[in-house]
Amino acid sequence: MENPYFNFISFIKCRTLLILRQLNSTLHRLKASIVLPEFFRVRFLLLLVVFSLLCNSVFAQSNTNYQRQIQLIDSLRSFITQELKLNVADSFYMTWKNTGEDKMYNYVYASFGDSIKTAHEKGKDFWFYTIEDSATAKINQLKAKGYHTLLYKTAGTSDAQLNHKLLSYPDEAIAFIVFHEATHQHIRSQNKLIPYIYEEALCDALANRACLAFAQKTKLIGMDDVLKQQGIFEKLNAFLNKQKSVVEKFNKEKREYVFRSNTTKVKATTRKANQFQKDRMNYEVNNAYFVRIIPYALHYFEVKDMLGEKIELNKAMEAILKQQEVH
């Protein structure tokens, strides 16, 4: 039987740590805006540094298996708010996923068999499930109707919660995921309706550019690892964009051959990739695979140019919205 006293103490401990980290985040945001006489400002900044170190140390020590990774995420969060000027929630990667810390989030994709087109009854790209058995049941239901399907599993979503799978990835992958999800949160904070087919590409493009900037500025992740990760993603994006056009030209029989060939190519390209990239890309290619990958790949290189080397997200968002007005 579980000890209720232990559960209560654990709850209080977790809530206290969360409050400490949220206060730490708030203080960092206030630092740039508070106007104080130099005498008091110096002491305020020293207090801020001490408090920040205390918060990060206490939280990391309570999660000793992931101390380094959690400290990395703290540094990424500071970079996101202070250098990139993105708006993220106070709870951004500060709390643990409640249900099954080692389990991944499940996205079900389905496409018509004769075209790359979502089969979602509401025209959405996917169905979302936190329980894998429910996702598998949906897959079986869709397969029975003759649709192409894909069960995509991921450790990161825009609700940005810590989980064991996320923290098991190499540092460059953790950085990519954190930057990607921060971009989602910032976009939504601006109340700008960025089309989904652009939003995912924008998140990936910013994540790649931000990883490079973070590696260069902090040296907390390896530049060679970041460049390798980006190179694999961009190689696959270019390949899959080309293959989408090829698939759309062929009949069903020829498509099956292309799908098998594409599956082999994706596996070969990710053979020396990190585990995050394998988890993200290594699936059997079919129409549903393209339904999933199109929002990430189709406009990737276009929005990467919009961001520029200065990583101007708001400027890129405005460019996308103006482009949509024209069309």
- Tell me the pLDDT tens digit for each residue of 15-50: 455 555 555 555 555 555 555 566 665 566 566 555
Instruction: Check residue 301 and give its pLDDT.
Output: 98
Instruction: Check residue 324 and give its pLDDT.
Output: 85
Tokens for 207?
């994540």
* Under-70 pLDDT residues of the chain: 1-64, 98-102, 327
Residues 279, 286: Cα–Cα separation, whole Å: 17
Residues 237, 255: Cα–Cα separation, whole Å: 19
- CB neighbour list of residue 94: distance below 8 Å, 6 or more residues apart: 18, 21, 22, 25, 162
Nearest Cα neighbor of 263 from 125, 156, 145, 148 is 148
Instruction: Check residue 236 and give its pLDDT.
Output: 98
Question: b or e along 25-46 (b: 16 or more beta carbons within 10 Å of the residue's beta carbon)?
Answer: bebbeeeeeeeeeeeeeeeeee
List beta partners, residue 111.
Answer: 118, 148
128: amino acid identity, one letter: F
